Amino acid sequence: MSVELTFTIDGVSLTAQKGDTVLNAAKAAGIYIPHLCFSEGLESYGACRLCIVEIDDVRGMPTSCSTQVKEGMVVHNDVASVNRVRRMVCEMLIADHPLVCLSCSANMNCRLQDVAAFLGIKGSRLRRMVRKPIVDDSNPFYTRDLSKCILCGLCTRSCHELRGVGAIEIAGRGFESRIAAPGDGPVRDSTCTSCGECVDRCPVNALWAKHETLPPTATVRTTCGYCGCGCGIELGTRGGKIVRVRGDRSAPSNRGSLCVKGRFGLDFVSAPDRLTTPLIKRNGVFKEATWEEALDLVADKLTSIRDQHGADALAGLSSAKCTNEENYVFQKFFRAGLGTNNVDHCARLCHASTVAGLARAFGSGAMTNPQIEFEHADCIFVTGSNTTEAHPITAISIIKAVVEHGATLIVADPRRIDLTRYATLHIRQRSGTDVALFNAMIHVIITEGLGDDAFIQGRTEGFEALKACVADCTPEWAEPITGIPADKIREAARLYAAADRGSIAYSMGITQHTTGTDNVLALANLAMVTGNVGRASTGVNPLRGQNNVQGACDLGALPNKYPGYQDVEAPDIRKRFEAAWKTPLSPTNGLTVTEIVSAAGSGAIRGLYVMGENPMLSDPNLNHVEQALKDVEFLCVQDIFMTETAELADVVLPAASFAEKDGTFTNTDRRVQRVRTAVPKPGEARDDWAILCDIATRTGYPMAYASPSEILDEIASVSPIYGGLSFDRIASEGLQWPCPDRDHPGTTFLHEGEFKRGKGKFHATPFKVAAEEPDTDYPFLLTTGRYLYHWHTRTMTSRTKGLEEICPPTPIEIHPDDAALAGIEHGDIIEVSSRRGTIEANAHVTDRSPRGTVFMAFHFHEGAANRLTIDAVDPIAKIPEFKVCAVRISTAATTKKTDNA
Amino acid sequence: MGRIVTLTASQTPGLDAVLARHPCEESQLIPLLQDIQDHVGYISAESMRAAATHLNIPESSVYGVVTFYSQFYLTRQGRHKVKVCQGTACHVRGAVEIIRAVTARLGIKPGETTRDFEFSVERVACFGSCALAPVMVVNEKVYGNVTPEMAIRILDELT
Ligand code: SF4
Ligand code: SF4
Ligand code: SF4
Ligand code: FES
Ligand code: FES
């Protein structure tokens, strides 16, 4: 309930909402009140004292950034008395500020200039103190010059309050005060994550982004192409290049914040090694070709394989990096054009178990509630998600909930991830024993009567089966399995059950197991037992990885689903799609990614089309994948770089990056957001959808669209959850599906009042052990994951030098005790082997890893973790077990190194 | 979050015992730092890291506090702490001469510590004993009406 207040500033009548400050209300009305230490989203600080005003019946000159509007308030802003004081303050500020404006990169974009100009400052009457530059150039992305710092504290406050990092602080006092990393050391050696929030907020040029050498001449609002957080970004461009990146403060997903990849990691767009022309492999070497030649060849090969061996000898890997429109066109081309349902994409490798599990339990496989709702949860249970690294913007909401609203945070993760700094309770289950933990928590909740009986009665079914399944799952039973003390399991259960709004966040630590679907079902059980679904700030929330992995699933880049999760094997649905696409369709489900790779190896799949994916690094048991891709008769890869997979292709087609195309991405919130062209495509590169349409037409199924907008309109006509979407509706802000019609406002959270499938269904999920456990030959458990600084297989991030500098290949994290036993020291190159392969990696000795477990990220082709991982899959979702396999480590390589030295 | 932090066992004797005396709450920061200083003599980089981890706060916050209060030392101090007043009253009555004599005798500048960690010298603003100016404080003992000769004698008696 907002109360409208009326007040005046310098005689102008304005309105404000209750709780608005005078400064904010003035800003909203376009009235300038000088200010330096205030920035949106941060608490008022009251340090610069430039925002002072006079208010009738209020003594002195209060600061407008911390004064709330009251009904009938009479405010004086631009008046002589106030400006006289402001002028004194401003003169003090510039007395020791280097006056080098003309050569300063913040020239004409400096809040201090704004203030000085507004006040008509002619110079400082104070004695000038000349400060030499005090420069910290250590961070690869930004520079700090303390001689220009006005100590507004915006950088330290954004770092502590907004980002929860706290890398820098104001050190010293009085004249000695300065912004400092611990020990006044270089910021590079601090905990700084290079998110650039401080750079963005600095009102002067004391912090600046190194790559911003020229101001942009145009700005485009679009969506980050890296991760599922789906941050709104503004790309400033000039001469066809991106010259500035800013977070979009109006975007609901990120409210202006970005992570290091989105802000500083876009060099790949203009990288010199972008693919710019079609390539055809002749006698083992790639030769440049015209589009005509390449398209003809691809169409010929695909049709001849289809004609000789049937459509099911073809398969396509669509892409969670591409737009919704492109994914739609891709699966339509395969289903309607070529006649097979063999379409899948990398979601198989990340959240297939989510889609399978949540669809069974709730009827919909997506995140139930949006990221920002974590902020208002009472208890957040984070498991199998290294949120600060994999979903940096989601992590902001979780940290805010804890710091600002006192929420309880439970982290269940084998690794001491950074989020544990904010955790009320950190429990470290052995990788692969999640179901045992969740079952024991449910056991405690049921036996102690902490559940929500009304919810169980009214909104769910199958409770008796669950009850029977967990009857013997006491915390004492789970203790030896999970390695978590029984009383901690009880504590976790009680904390979560006590919450009015309990929210679960999980990611690949849950899904990438042979028991992935069970893990997800067990979490759904946990949420339903406590009635934590279908309300704001509750739910079961799978954080989706890729920028558009949600969209690729939504649009049917899945072997068993048409767009909008409509079953391929349901005859009435197939009939509808046959009518819409004007062709008969295959009635049987296609193959999944993992099955496609095996089938390629065995010769059942002869033609493979890969759009924007790199299975050569991302899939488990790489040695096996490599052989399969080599064996396949015809491989076409459509990408922006010559990836490890493209190297093996017969034809490579150059595509457009996210900054070069129009369309939509659907982020982890189910929010469909606009992607807009900011810069031209390099060379002859083309939009993925346009390439696909041309090939489809050549294979005898004509496809043509004037623009992605037209494709989205077609999507709306065949997929009810996208029914109300169109480019014009999401022009200024994205909409969350389901959005069935043009007047529907979108859906903030799912399952309100009723589950998508009617009643929520409990599933009995007995505990099962992982496919491969450590043994005497391979005594360590290897678990894999990601780092903040890289994306996926590094195709994009490796083109940004700074990211490579901060996070070079290839670390393996190992506990100090294990390292000591094995005689390994920090920085040693060690050999890591599993039953499937051997690689070398760089030992990072850290207690982030529990004893007996080593951790590796899958980003690096030098030392590829997936040469070690196992391709055992979940029986339902077919997701591989990336999170558990057995390895041994040896110092052999180290010794070799020293011997040679 | 930034880089992978390497775990090293505490090198400072007694530090772990000091930490164990304080509950893991942010409000303990200043008492904890005082306790560390009392036992270790100064606040080393390692102590700051340990305090930050113990209280679960960013290291930068610890550094901010340590550098804000002049009572905290960032480097190892001498066994004897010599403080010479620089306040107005003492200045007028010859504090400069005292500082000069003390630093010449010990061969260090104000703010420094002798190599053998026997003496540290500091300049301090008014002790509030202006009637006794010039004032010098050695190991918490206040000496009034100090002359350069007297200052040197006080130091010599300690060696
Ligand atoms: S870049 Fe981000 S993490 Fe680093 S100091 Fe600035 S706000 Fe903190
Ligand atoms: S560096 Fe910039 S943001 Fe930080 S205190 Fe100085 S002026 Fe303010
Ligand atoms: S990578 Fe993810 S968190 Fe980072 S800016 Fe892009 S969308 Fe946001
Ligand atoms: S903006 Fe209000 S005091 Fe600085
Ligand atoms: S001025 Fe030295 S004690 Fe006051």
Q: What is the pLDDT of residues A689-714, one digit of tens each?
A: 999 999 999 999 999 999 999 999 99
Among the bound ligands, the one closest to the CA of A151: 2
Domain of residue A370, CATH code: 3.40.228.10
Please tell me whether residues A702 and A730 are part of one structural domain.
yes
On chain A, the residues whose CB falls within 8 A of the CB of B57 are 166
DSSP A194-225: ---HHHHH-SSTTEEETT--S--SEEEEEE-S
List b or e across A170-182, with b for residues whose CB sees 16 or more CB atoms inside 10 angstroms: bbbeeeebbbbbb
B37 neighbors B43 (Cβ within 8 angstroms)? yes
Among candidate residues A241, A264, A287, the one where a domain is terminated: A264
A342 neighbors A306 (Cβ within 8 angstroms)? no
Alpha-carbon distance B110 to A886, whole Å? 60
Alpha-carbon distance A863 to A839, whole Å? 5
| pLDDT above 60 for B4 | no
Mutate to test the pocket of ligand 4, among A33, A37, A61, A75 (most ligand atoms within 8 A of CB): A37
Q: Please return the burial class of A374, using the count of CB atoms within 10 Å of its CB with bins 0-12, 13-18 and 19+.
A: buried
pLDDT tens digits for range A11-58: 999 999 998 999 999 999 999 999 999 998 888 888 899 999 999 999
Band (pLDDT 50/70/90 cuts) for residue A201 is very high
Please tell me whether residues A289 and A256 are part of one structural domain.
no
pLDDT tens digits for range A257-297: 999 989 998 888 888 999 999 999 998 899 999 999 999 99
Which residue of A190, A411, A818 to mutate against B (max B Cβ within 10 Å)? A190
Query: Of all residues in chain B, what percent carry a pLDDT higher than 90?
Result: 14
Residue A700 is assigned to a structural domain of this protein = yes
Residue A114 is assigned to a structural domain of this protein = yes
Backbone dihedral angles phi then psi of residue A184, each to the nearest 5 degrees? 55, 25
Residue A754 is assigned to a structural domain of this protein = no
Size of interface A-B (CB pairs under 8 A): 83
State the ipTM, two decimals.
0.77
Domains and CATH numbers, chain B: 9-68 (1.10.10), 80-158 (3.40.30.10)
Among candidate residues A219, A239, A264, the one where a domain is terminated: A264
On chain B, the residues whose CB falls within 8 A of the CB of A813 are 4
Please tell me whether residues A785 and A810 are part of one structural domain.
yes
State whether residue A361 is helix, strand or coil. helix
| pLDDT above 50 for A141 | yes
Chain A closest-CA separation from residue B84 CA (Å): 21
**Residues B121-126, mean pLDDT to the nearest whole number:** 86
Band (pLDDT 50/70/90 cuts) for residue A899 is very low
Please tell me whether residues A874 and A795 are part of one structural domain.
yes
Q: Given this model, what pLDDT does residue A2 score?
A: 62
DSSP A438-473: HHHHHHHHHHTT-S-HHHHHHHEE-HHHHHHHHTT-
Please tell me whether residues A789 and A839 are part of one structural domain.
yes
Chain B closest-CA separation from residue A125 CA (Å): 28
Scanning the structure block, which residue is given the tokens 């090939």? A695
| pLDDT above 60 for A445 | yes
Please tell me whether residues A661 and A707 are part of one structural domain.
yes
Cβ separation B63–A166 shorter than 8 A: no
Q: Given this model, what pLDDT does residue A789 score?
A: 84
Q: Ligand 3 within 6 A of A392 CB?
A: yes
pLDDT tens digits for range A607-634: 999 998 877 666 666 677 788 888 889 9
Q: Which atom of ligand 3 is nearest to the CA of A265?
A: 1
Residue A130 is assigned to a structural domain of this protein = no
Residue A731 is assigned to a structural domain of this protein = yes
Please tell me whether residues A798 and A853 are part of one structural domain.
yes
Cα diameter, chain B: 56
Chain A closest-CA separation from residue B41 CA (Å): 17
Pocket-forming residues, ligand 1, beta carbon under 6 Å: A 158-159, 163, 165, 167-168, 192-198
Query: Of all residues in chain A, what percent carry a pLDDT higher than 90?
Result: 43
Cβ separation B64–A388 shorter than 8 A: no
Q: Ligand 3 within 6 A of A266 CB?
A: no
Domain of residue A191, CATH code: 3.30.70.20
Please tell me whether residues A144 and A251 are part of one structural domain.
yes
Q: To which H or E segment does residue A688 belong?
A: helix A688-698
**Residues A237-248, mean pLDDT to the nearest whole number:** 92
Band (pLDDT 50/70/90 cuts) for residue A123 is low
Domain of residue A584, CATH code: 3.40.50.740
* Domain enclosing residue A45, as ranges: 4-119
Q: Which residue of B has its CA nearest to A177?
A: B68
Please tell me whether residues A655 and A596 are part of one structural domain.
yes
How high does pLDDT run on average in chain A? 88
Please tell me whether residues A554 and A506 are part of one structural domain.
no
Cβ separation A816–B7 shorter than 8 A: yes
Q: Given this model, what pLDDT does residue A689 score?
A: 92
List b or e across A200-227, with b for residues whose CB sees 16 or more CB atoms inside 10 angstroms: bbbbbbbbbbebbeeebeeebbbbbbbb
Query: Of all residues in chain A, what percent carry a pLDDT higher than 70?
Result: 97
Q: Given this model, what pLDDT does residue A354 score?
A: 86
pLDDT tens digits for range A503-556: 999 988 888 877 888 889 999 999 889 988 888 789 888 888 888 988 999 899
Structural domain count, chain A: 5
Q: Given this model, what pLDDT does residue A897 score?
A: 43
Of the candidates A103, A355, A172, the residue with the CA atom closest to the CA atom of residue B70: A172
Domain of residue A847, CATH code: 2.40.40.20
Cβ separation A848–B5 shorter than 8 A: yes
Q: Cβ atoms within 10 A of the Cβ of A285, count?
A: 8
Q: Which atom of ligand 1 is nearest to the CA of A168?
A: 5
Residue A128 is assigned to a structural domain of this protein = no
Interface of B to A at Cβ within 8 Å reads 1-7, 45, 48-49, 56-64, 67-68
Task: Average the pLDDT over each of A188-192, A576-580, A760-764 and give the range with the smallest value.
Answer: A760-764
Q: Given this model, what pLDDT does residue A129 score?
A: 66
Please indicate whether residue A3 or residue A517 has the higher confidence score (pLDDT). A517
**Residues A877-891, mean pLDDT to the nearest whole number:** 80
Alpha-carbon distance A364 to A362, whole Å? 6
Residue A643 is assigned to a structural domain of this protein = yes
pLDDT tens digits for range A809-836: 888 899 988 888 888 888 888 888 888 8
Alpha-carbon distance A278 to A287, whole Å? 8
Among candidate residues A506, A522, A542, the one where a domain is terminated: A542
Q: Given this model, what pLDDT does residue B2 score?
A: 39
Backbone dihedral angles phi then psi of residue A707, each to the nearest 5 degrees? -165, 165
Cβ separation B48–A418 shorter than 8 A: no
Band (pLDDT 50/70/90 cuts) for residue A896 is very low
| pLDDT above 80 for A161 | yes
Please tell me whether residues A706 and A797 are part of one structural domain.
no
Q: Given this model, what pLDDT does residue A215 score?
A: 87
Helix axes A571-581, A708-718, angle to 10 degrees: 150
**CA A219 to chain CA mean position, Å:** 23
Chain B closest-CA separation from residue A778 CA (Å): 25
Alpha-carbon distance A148 to A642, whole Å? 44
Reported pTM? 0.85
Residue A319 is assigned to a structural domain of this protein = yes
Please tell me whether residues A794 and A835 are part of one structural domain.
yes
Q: Cβ atoms within 10 A of the Cβ of A464, count?
A: 10
Alpha-carbon distance A895 to A90, whole Å? 63
